[in-house]
Amino acid sequence: MVFGERHRVAHFVGVDFVAYTAIEADRGVAPLGSRCSRHDRLPGIAPVTDVPRHCPRRREYFVNRLWSRVGVRTTSVGLLVLGVIGGVYLGQGREVQHRSAEAQQAVVQVADEDDIQLLKERQGAHAAARAWQREAEGDAAAKAAVEAKAAAGKARSLEKKAIAKEQAKKDAEAAKKAANSSGSGSGKSVPFTGPIPESCNEYSGTRAVGCTLMLAAGFGIDQFPCLDKLWKKESGWNPKASNPSSGAYGIPQALPGNKMASEGSDWRNNAATQIKWGLGYIEGRYNTPCGAWSHSQDTGWY
């Protein structure tokens, strides 16, 4: 009964050495070789004569060994628990760091996308501004070219008119000299001494003079057919033509005839003087000989 109880106690605490020692003691064998006195022998076990016995371990020794191993295992378990707790804490810390790094990366990525979008918007604005500037420069250049062309055309027109006036002045002076030399009161027509251009070679007499002076006044050759029809209707290009009912006189049928004295005192018999006055009258009132001819067709007079 005592052997069984000791064996169960030793096996329960997990100390095999203690169980072995208790079993050997129950069999009457001393475990560690030290002789024990009769006071040290286990109670309830009869002594064996002439057999040397060793003293079994005391109860306090076994209890101390038991608590020592329990303390070691408890310490080991505690360290293991602490390790597990530390590992969990470190794992949580790493997860937090990982999440924090992902959040920072997401923020950086969003910031980069915003910067890229802003850069694209700025580049688009600069491109639109450059396109508008090029378009404005192109419009300004085209407008300047049109204005320059118009100014050049106007300058050429003014130059032609100035040349025509100068030529008309020369012709008038030549006609005046011719009239003075031949005598204006003789009643003879003063001949035209100026050159006739090739474009007027198809005409003769006072018509050739009229074509020449018309070109000198700055009109185009396309205007002479209108002038030819107009004055052929009015006077037949006769410098001495007179309308007895109205008093109109000369090739242009000036009314009164002495208006033509503004071009020269020989207005009575000088075709060039009469033509110059008639061209000036037409330009001031109708702009062109064709304008005067159109008015004459509509009203019967000019």
pLDDT tens figures, 259-287: 999 999 999 999 999 999 999 999 999 99
Q: How many CB atoms lie within 10 A of CB 213?
A: 26
- Tell which of 41, 68, 95 closes a domain: 68
Instruction: State which of 133-137, 152-156, 250-254 shows the largest mean pLDDT.
Output: 250-254
Whether 94 maps to a domain, the answer reads no
Whether 105 maps to a domain, the answer reads no
Average pLDDT over residues 108-127: 77
Higher pLDDT, 217 or 105: 217
Confidence of residue 83 (pLDDT cuts 50, 70, 90): confident
- Tell which of 68, 91, 121 closes a domain: 68
Query: Domain span at residue 221?
Result: 162-299
Whether 101 maps to a domain, the answer reads no
Confidence of residue 59 (pLDDT cuts 50, 70, 90): low
Q: Is the peptide bond before 191 cis (omega within 30 degrees of 0)?
A: no
Whether 200 maps to a domain, the answer reads yes
Number of domains composing the chain: 2
Whether 89 maps to a domain, the answer reads no
Whether 148 maps to a domain, the answer reads no
Given this model, what pLDDT does residue 10 score? 45
SS3 track for 49-98: CCCCCECCCCHHHHHHHHHHHHHHHHHHHHHHHHHHHHHHHHHHHHHHHH
DSSP 221: G
Whether 192 maps to a domain, the answer reads yes
Whether 44 maps to a domain, the answer reads yes
Given this model, what pLDDT does residue 183 score? 39
**What are 188's two structure tokens?**
């003879």
- Tell which of 42, 68, 94 closes a domain: 68
pLDDT digits (tens, 9 = 90+) for 9-31: 444 444 444 444 444 444 444 44
151-173 burial: b if 16+ Cβ within 10 Å, else e: eeeeeeeeebeeebeebbeebbe
On the question of pLDDT at 119 being above 50, the answer is yes
